[in-house]
Amino acid sequence: QVQLQESGPGLVKPSETLSLTCTVSGGSVSSGSYYWSWIRQPPGKGLEWIGYIYYSESTYYNPSLESRVTISVDTSKNQFSLKLTSVTAADTAVYYCAREDSSSSDDYLDYWGQGTLVTVSS
């Protein structure tokens, strides 16, 4: 069974960098059949797709965040990470890591982490 678990600071100061890691078990982040994704959800609001990484190095980011986002993979630890720079209060959200299954060309998010709340505040 695939499991994903987010980890990282729950509080980040404005203008600093938000850094989160997703540890994957039961599957390999090196697999080319899956896109390793980040999604966020501000309190009480809907879901926003941040981006994904696949083939360990290819990435696609939401243009609304592209100038501030980096997603990377550590294959030795079977983890992938999110960095979001110059954060503001608008970046306060629950951050989810998830796997997008593209193995059958249907492309859907089949496994999710439990989510972690990141608050941006001084």
Partner 1 sequence: DIQMTQSPSSLSASVGDRVTITCRASQTVRRYLNWYQQKLGKAPKVLIYAASSLQSGVPSRFSGSGSGTDFTLTISNLQPEDFATYYCQQSFSNPRTFGQGTKLEI
Q: Which residues bind partner 1 (CB under 8 A)?
A: 37, 46-49, 51, 60-64, 96, 98, 100, 106-110, 112-115
CB of 47 to partner 1, least distance (A): 4
Would you state the structure tokens that stand for residue 42, as one six-digit string? 């501000």
Would you state the structure tokens that stand for residue 28, as one six-digit string? 């390999």
CB 108 within 8 A of CB 101: yes
3-state helix, strand, coil in the chain (%, to 5): 0, 55, 45
Cβ closest to partner 1, residue 88 vs residue 106? 106
Q: Is the dihedral of CA 29, 5, 21, 109 positive or negative?
A: positive
Q: Is the dihedral of CA 25, 53, 109, 30 positive or negative?
A: negative
Cβ closest to partner 1, residue 16 vs residue 112? 112
CB of 88 to partner 1, least distance (A): 20
CB of 56 to partner 1, least distance (A): 18
**Residue in 32, 17, 41 with CA at minimum distance from that of residue 113:** 41
Cβ closest to partner 1, residue 16 vs residue 48? 48
Cβ closest to partner 1, residue 56 vs residue 111? 111
CB of 36 to partner 1, least distance (A): 13
